[in-house]
Amino acid sequence: MVEVGRGPAALRDLGLSTVVPAKDFKKRMVVDIDGAPHMIEQIQVQTPSARGAATLYKVKARNLKTRAKIDKTYRGTDTLNEVSFERRAVQFLYRDPDGFHFMDAVDFNQFSFTPEDLKDQSPYMTENMEGVEALVVDDEPIAIEIPDTVALPITETAPGVRGNSATGRTKPATLSTGCVIQVPEHLDEGTIVKVDTRTGEYLGRAT
C-alpha cells in the first residue's frame, strides 16, 4: 500500500506544498531546504533570555539525496515547504559488497542503496525484516526507514554475572548483525534483546 507523506491530505493529493512554520517542525518531517528534500532528525528549542527576543529552533537535518547533514537555525515564524512524498512498503532482500537491495512490495521493482546511504540503519537490518519502508519523491526511492525497535539475539558477550540483575551495570554485547550495544551485565549469549534503532539503546528482553 502506498501512503502519501505527512501534511494536510487535500493539499498533498493535489500535489501542492504545505508551508510549515518552524514552531511546528517535527522529527522525521521531510522539508525543502535549499531546493532539496531533507529529513529533520533533531530539533533544539532555544528559549531567549532577553525580553522580547525570538525563540530559536536549531535543526539538524539530512539531505535525503546526498545523505549530507546540515545544521540550520530558524525563528518560530520562519517557514519551510514540507515535501510531498510517498511512503511505500518494501522488502529488504539481501546485502552484498555493492550495497543493500530492496523490492517494492506493490510493483516488485528492485532498487539498491549503498552502504554509506544506510550507515545509520544497517546495524539493525536483517534480511526479510518486516516494517521496512521507502520514502519516494518523483518516483525515486530516496531513503529507507526501518522500525523504531527491533529484536536481535546476542551472539557474543562476556558471561553473565549471576545476582547482578539489579546493579544497573552494563557490558558490551555483539548482536547478530554485528552491531555492538551496551546491555545489562547479567545477560548471556543467545538472549534476544529489543533495541531502539534511533539511538542504539537497549530497551529490554524481547518476549
- Using CA atoms, how far apart are residues 144 and 123, in angstroms rounded to an integer? 13
User: Which helix or strand (DSSP H or E) is residue 10 part of?
Assistant: helix 9-13
Mean of the pLDDT values across residues 139-163?
A: 87
- Using CA atoms, how far apart are residues 183 and 185, in angstroms rounded to an integer? 6
| pLDDT at position 12 | 36
- Using CA atoms, how far apart are residues 190 and 134, in angstroms rounded to an integer? 31
pLDDT-based confidence at residue 156 (cuts at 50, 70, 90): very high
User: Are 38 and 64 a contacting pair, CB within 8 Å?
Assistant: yes
CA angle in degrees (0–180, nearest 5) for 116-122-128:
130
- Using CA atoms, how far apart are residues 118 and 95, in angstroms rounded to an integer? 11
> What count of other Cβ atoms lies within 10 Å of the Cβ of residue 168?
8
- Using CA atoms, how far apart are residues 188 and 173, in angstroms rounded to an integer? 9
- Using CA atoms, how far apart are residues 89 and 105, in angstroms rounded to an integer? 6
Q: DSSP string of 125-160?
A: --TT-SS-EEEEETTEEEEEE--SEEEEEEEEEPPP
Q: pLDDT tens, 55-110?
A: 899 999 988 877 788 999 999 889 999 988 888 999 999 999 889 999 998 889 99
**28 φ/ψ sector (left φ>0, alpha ψ -120 to 50, else beta):** left
Q: pLDDT tens, 19-68?
A: 999 999 988 788 999 988 898 888 999 887 777 778 899 999 988 877 78
Domains of the chain (ranges; CATH) run: 2-82 (2.30.30.30), 86-145 (2.40.50.140), 149-205 (2.40.50.140)
| pLDDT at position 3 | 35
Checking if the pLDDT of 10 tops 50, the result is no
Residue 43's Cα: distance from chain center in Å?
14
- Using CA atoms, how far apart are residues 89 and 135, in angstroms rounded to an integer? 9
